[in-house]
Amino acid sequence: EIMRGIPADHIILAGFSQGAAMSLYVGLRQPKPLGGIMVLSGYRLLPQEHAGIESCAQKTPVFMGHGIADSVVDMALGKLAYQYLTSQNMDVTWHDYRMQHSVCPEEIADIRAWLLQRFQALA
């Protein structure tokens, strides 16, 4: 998208489960801050790789949502990713929900509010 002329801060990467892990992995390695990264029921991919976060990626806001009864991706893995990101001084919003490995109406409402904040920041 950047090669097509879309400014990096207008791009939000989003994913669910492994897609969320990929979004986080790719988003943290961008040379310019993105508009955001949405991590739904995800985790930190390859945590043993301490390649770290690009310094400008620290300016990228992150939304994380996870089900407390998730039996596919344990919420503890999501929390570890959250703790890592906050230790890197990133702007991370965490929500947990009474759900399994899925998306619920409450999460959708929180996503909507977070996206509206991102879009208002661009205006």
Q: Which of these is catalytic: 95, 101, 102, 110?
A: 101
Is 17 an active-site residue?
A: yes
How far is 89 from 74, CA to CA, in rounded Å?
24
* Beta carbons of 112 and 103 less than 8 angstroms apart: no
Is 101 an active-site residue?
A: yes
Burial code (b: 16+ CB inside 10 Å, e: under 16) for 69-88 equals ebeebebebbeebbebbeee
How far is 24 from 42, CA to CA, in rounded Å?
9
Q: Which of these is catalytic: 17, 95, 102, 110?
A: 17
* Beta carbons of 39 and 15 less than 8 angstroms apart: yes
Q: Which of these is catalytic: 23, 41, 66, 70?
A: 70
* Beta carbons of 31 and 3 less than 8 angstroms apart: no
Catalytic sites, residue numbers: 17, 70, 101
